[in-house]
Amino acid sequence: MSSMSSMPLLPNTPGVLSFLALIPDYDADPAAARALMDHVRQQANARDRNAREADAREANASEANASGADARGASAHGTDARGVNPRRIDPQEIDFRRFKGSSISAHVLLAGPPTARAAALADAQAAGVDQAWFIPTPSAIAQTPTPTPTPMQTQTQTQQYVDLFTSALQSDALAGLLPSALMLVDAQADNEAFAGALAARLGATPLGRCTELEFDAQGALRATRGAYGNRLNITLSGDGTMIAAIRPKSLPAATSAAPAAAGAARPDCTTVHTLDNLPPPRAALSCAPLPRNELHAGLDGARIVISGGRGMGNDQAFPMLYDIAAKLGGAVGASLPAVDAGWAPVTRQVGISGKYISPDTYLAIGISGTPQHLAGIDPHTRIIAVNKDPEANIFNVAQAGVVAEWQALLPALLNALESYPPQHKDHQ
């Protein structure tokens, strides 16, 4: 893998011939799983269409070269020297398997409890993938004992899924797909860790979290991703087996409702399989939770984060931030200047030198919005900013903003939340 400037695209390479969605825990988020399946079907359709258009251009160019002498005598009415109107080849008439050696296919490999098998495979059929493999989650994979698992529990479970998917992908059933497959996972923290570990086990090219996946006429992949804390976009190319984390995009109904090319998979043509004879994953590590040094909820996995920065002026507001976070069921964060001033512990620092977080909502109080701080926040997070400076950079990236002093706004917000019970009574 290298940057596009140092890796020329070679003609006549087979490129990506199959897309494979990887879903290690279907039951965790069925809607996200279905979106990923739809995405691989759409990617395969688009790749199929591009290949047909390229083959049509190739066929038309060959026909034009072969009749060059006749073409020189063509009339202004579009006929050749023999008075025949040449017919252009339509891309839909091309069976590009004659040219490229294979068709573009879409598949899914997913795991879940045996009770989820019917729903998972029904979603795969509705998405119209070519083949779906379901792995019944063995009892050896530890089930999360609490709604918020500890980092050690999450890491252990991720490693067990890596064991399971490695065995499946190296089995006779799927090994034939890997030489030219692009594997995709939904871009969530646990899935990205899973993808990286799986790439290492398979010797695949890890592309990380990508924002765009594009293909040229030869099928060579161009993957765009953020770098240096998302302050810069880079474009990578690769071949062979690759794995990327993406956020599936919603396409117009007309695009997703029908296959983009003749011969593409139809919902009633999905072949389903169950892989229930795989070697069991390694045993789970024994985890014993230890008391936290503080009673407040941690940043890891928080869906709502309320952070304070230098603009707050002092540490008097942070107790109020903890109260608001408890009412909202979230966690408290801080910018580097706030941590340096001693207003919050370093464990709550958000940014390029602190934690990377991906909450649904991020409430920034008195934070200017430097690139170093924003690098610690997932690009898909909704940011709500409160700052007394109307020119603060945070307003350029916020979905909603309030120009106000925190002393006026936070007490009013806390007062409005008083009628709601705390969402987290135990933060151990």
Q: What is the pLDDT of residues 59-88, one digit of tens each?
A: 666 666 655 545 554 444 455 444 545 545
- On the question of pLDDT at 328 being above 70, the answer is yes
- The mean pLDDT value for 98-106 works out to 59
Most confident range, picked from 215-219, 224-228, 314-318, 331-335: 331-335
pTM over 0.75: no
Confidence band of 107 (pLDDT split at 50, 70, 90) = very high
Measure the CA–CA gap between 48 and 154, rounded to whole angstroms: 38
pLDDT of 62 reads 62
Mind listing the pLDDT tens digit for each residue in 244-289? 999 886 443 333 333 333 344 444 589 999 998 898 888 777 666 6
Report which residue type is found at 1: M
Measure the CA–CA gap between 203 and 419, rounded to whole angstroms: 54
CA-based radius of gyration for the chain: 26
- On the question of pLDDT at 374 being above 70, the answer is yes
- On the question of pLDDT at 423 being above 90, the answer is no
Q: Which of 73-87, 222-236, 369-383 has the lowest mean pLDDT?
A: 73-87
Q: How many CB atoms lie within 10 A of CB 411?
A: 12
Distances (CA, A) of 305 to 39, 63, 347, 388, 411: 30, 62, 14, 20, 17
